[in-house]
């Protein structure tokens, strides 16, 4: 990307004394500075402590926008250090990649639904309803991230849907962040909003799907879906209102494609909420916990996946690999997370528990 006149980039290091004084005036207008200096052409400020930094840092970021600079705030050797650096250029995305992957995922999810539809349902209808339902859950989840990133002025791509083989026909969807969130509050929101909205979507799809379950005669050696706690609660609720068919003593249920999509959405939510790496739960954990606790939670996540069975071994390996990469955190990595968000963490834990499946009842 070509630099505009007067623009500061990583290829144009900060050097001019006049610019340094201008940046210093912006910093000292917001913070009490104990020491200031240029370190390798980077304006560096050691802040007096204690002082409130969260809102001051947000104001500084806003005031730095015309200069094409950004700031970082870190705790180093018991001191609070603020640095002003060139804003990294953001490479534009190619939307045709998003469209192509979406079309491929439409094809793979339709095909998966077609061949997994019970024989008493038209396979074209089953394939179409499964495709629409699972893409709705995944798309809602990712748009929760995207809309929050936009609201927090964080550069992020549109969702990339990832086609895959059965049993789901997809490996999910992701958005890529191209810039760091301004503070821990924004990092928490971006990480949490996807699973929360995706969980709501998966719950709605599950309710619709559960009302469409079909009682069938028991079949020897049937394959059964492990039932999450959420489904256990929903089944009791729907049956109490006579909104769901009740299987007799010698009957099981044939899973409807919509119900299977809701089930898959619940699994996606559970996996994303694991407090590890660059998963959504990892973003939340990075905003609230220290390094040692994050390492312990990552280890527990791997143990959890191993105990869940062979179907989750690949995910356990992925989490282990992600643990080798350092999470970048937020631009302001010093200011505390808000109390309201700390309380919301309890809700995220509750969602995770509802997505766990301790028993098996539906084939």
Considering the entire predicted model, what is its pTM?
A: 0.90
Express each pLDDT in 298-312 by its tens digit: 999 999 999 988 889
DSSP 48: P
Task: Name the average pLDDT for the chain.
Answer: 91
CB-neighbour burial class of residue 321 (10 A; exposed 0-12, middle 13-18, buried 19+): exposed
Residue 161's pLDDT is 97
Using H for helix, E for strand and C for coil, what is the string for 324-336?
CCCCCCCCECCCC
The predicted-structure confidence for 329-342, as pLDDT tens digits, reads as follows 999 999 999 999 99
Which band of pLDDT confidence, cut at 50, 70 and 90, is reported for residue 22? very high
Q: Tokens 């539906």 belong to which residue?
A: 362
Give the residue from 248, 249, 242, 167 showing the smallest Cα distance to 210: 242
pLDDT at 168 over 90: yes
3-state helix/strand/coil string of 146-195 = HHHHHHCCCCECCCEEEECCCCCCEEEEECCECCCCCEHHHHHHHHHHHH
pLDDT of residue 221: 61
Q: What is the pLDDT of residue 222?
A: 63
pLDDT in tens, 220-234: 766 677 889 999 999
Q: Which two tokens stand for residue 219?
A: 């079949």
Would you place residue 248 in the very low, low, confident or very high pLDDT band (cuts 50, 70, 90)? confident
For the chain, the structural domain boundaries read: 17-86, 95-362
Residue 19 has pLDDT above 90, yes or no: no
Query: Who contacts 356 (Cβ-Cβ below 8 Å, separation ≥6)?
Result: 228, 229, 270
Residue 257 and residue 129 in contact, taking contact as beta carbons nearer than 8 Å: yes
Grouping H, G, I as helix, E, B as strand and the rest as coil, residue 359 is strand
| CATH tag for 17-86 (out of 1.20.120, 3.30.56, 3.30.9, 3.90.1070) | 3.90.1070
Question: For residue 363, is pLDDT > 80?
Answer: no
């Amino acid at each position: 990307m070509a630099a505009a006149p007067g623009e500061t980039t990583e290829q144009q290091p900060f050097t001019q004394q006049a610019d340094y004084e201008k940046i210093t005036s912006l910093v000292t207008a917001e913070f009490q500075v104990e020491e200031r200096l240029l370190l390798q052409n980077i304006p560096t400020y050691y802040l007096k402590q204690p002082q409130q930094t969260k809102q001051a840092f947000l104001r500084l970021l806003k005031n730095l926008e015309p200069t094409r600079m950004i700031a970082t705030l870190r705790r180093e050797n018991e001191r609070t250090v603020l640095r002003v650096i060139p804003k990294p250029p953001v490479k534009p995305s190619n939307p045709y990649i998003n469209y192509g992957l979406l079309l491929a995922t439409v094809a793979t999810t339709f095909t998966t639904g077609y061949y997994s539809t019970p024989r008493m349902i038209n396979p074209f209808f089953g394939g179409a309803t499964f495709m629409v339902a699972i893409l709705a859950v995944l798309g809602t989840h990712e748009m929760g991230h995207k809309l929050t990133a936009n609201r927090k002025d964080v550069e992020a791509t549109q969702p990339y849907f990832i086609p895959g083989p059965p049993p789901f026909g997809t490996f999910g969807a992701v958005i890529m962040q191209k810039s760091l969130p301004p503070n821990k509050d924004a990092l928490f929101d971006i990480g949490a909003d996807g699973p929360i909205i995706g969980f709501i979507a998966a719950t709605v799809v599950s309710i619709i799907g559960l009302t469409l379950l079909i009682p069938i005669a028991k079949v020897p050696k049937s394959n059964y879906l492990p039932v999450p706690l959420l489904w256990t609660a929903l089944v009791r609720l729907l049956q109490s209102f006579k909104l769901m068919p009740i299987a007799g003593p010698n009957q099981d249920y044939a899973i409807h494609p919509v119900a299977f999509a809701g089930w898959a959405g619940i699994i996606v939510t559970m996996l994303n909420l694991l407090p590890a790496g660059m998963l959504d739960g990892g973003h939340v954990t990075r905003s609230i916990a220290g390094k040692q606790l994050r390492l312990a939670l990552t280890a527990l996540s791997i143990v959890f996946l191993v105990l869940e069975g062979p179907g989750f071994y690949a995910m356990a390996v992925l989490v282990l690999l992600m643990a080798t990469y350092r999470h970048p955190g937020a631009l302001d990595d010093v200011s505390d997370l808000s109390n309201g968000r700390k309380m919301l963490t309890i809700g995220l834990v509750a969602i995770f528990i509802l997505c766990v499946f301790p028993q098996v009842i539906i084939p």
